[in-house]
Amino acid sequence: MTLKPDDLHQITSTTLGHYNKVAEDFREGTRDHDVSQNIDALLRHLQGTPPFTVLDFGCGPGRDLQTFTRMGHIAVGLDGSERFAQMAREDCGCEVYQQDFLKLELPAERFDGIFANAVLFHIPKQELPRVLQQLHGALKPGGVLFSSNPRGDNSEGWNGPRYGSYHDLAAWQALLTTAGFVELEHYYRPAGLPREQQPWLASVWRKP
């Protein structure tokens, strides 16, 4: 199935419209989510001397931007939702881009790390290779990309008012490798549970 420009526009506008509508509830509902395992997975692979410049791709209302800032790093946010971008700027004072994920304009080789937590699954599979190459280009040589997505059976489609594309490990590894990344590690979340109770696939990748 090939998605046409009108399909992609609908996917973007409907998904972002949902997040704009539920922004306040989303901020309250995710404020206390513990993603320290994921933040640590990114930071421990960064090379060089901190502070590091980190792009929080799909930053939402800015929870993790605040965490990176408190840790002494230079955090920059990016979200497609106008409400989320506004919240993130107000709550953490960071630089925040408001950009459609399918129409990115990223600076070249600016970031030591990119933190893409629970976000890349919203990008239709046919568009992912291009987006991953854009993220690759925004990283400094040796930079690191972290991603976490709901794992799946390589299907995609609507889940209520949100569009999602759900990859298994082999398919995700193929996409990232083709985009020029080298895998550093992967794991399933939440930690300590049987695999069938671990819906999230997290992985860490380096730009050579």
pLDDT of residue 181: 98
CA-nearest of 129, 44, 141, 62 to 98 is 62
Whole-angstrom distance, CA of residue 31 vs CA of residue 37: 16
**Whole-structure pTM value:** 0.97
pLDDT 10s per residue in the chain (208 long)?
799 999 999 999 999 999 999 998 888 889 889 999 999 999 999 999 999 999 999 999 999 999 999 999 999 999 999 999 999 999 999 999 999 999 999 999 999 999 999 999 999 999 999 999 999 999 999 999 999 999 999 999 999 999 999 999 999 999 999 999 999 999 999 999 999 999 999 999 999 9
pLDDT of residue 22: 95
Whole-angstrom distance, CA of residue 118 vs CA of residue 203: 12
pLDDT of residue 1: 79
Whole-angstrom distance, CA of residue 104 vs CA of residue 131: 8
How do strand 53-57 and strand 111-117 relate by DSSP bridges?
A: parallel
Beta bridge partners of 116: 147
Q: HEC string of the chain?
A: CCCCHHHHHHHHHHHHHHHHHCHHHHHHHHCCCCCHHHHHHHHCCCCCCCCCEEEEECCCCCHHHHHHHHCCCEEEEEECCHHHHHHHHHHHCCEEEECCHHHCCCCCCCEEEEEEECCHHHCCHHHHHHHHHHHHHHEEEEEEEEEEEECCCCEEEEECCEEEEECCHHHHHHHHHHCCCEEEEEEEECCCCCHHHCCEEEEEEECC
Interior angle at CA 120, CA 84 and CA 190, nearest 5: 95
Q: What's the first-to-final CA gap in the chain, in angstroms?
A: 33
pLDDT of residue 32: 85
Is there a contact between 145 and 21 (Cβ–Cβ < 8 Å)? no
Encoded amino acid at 192, one letter: G
Q: Token pair for residue 155?
A: 């299907």
pLDDT of residue 144: 99
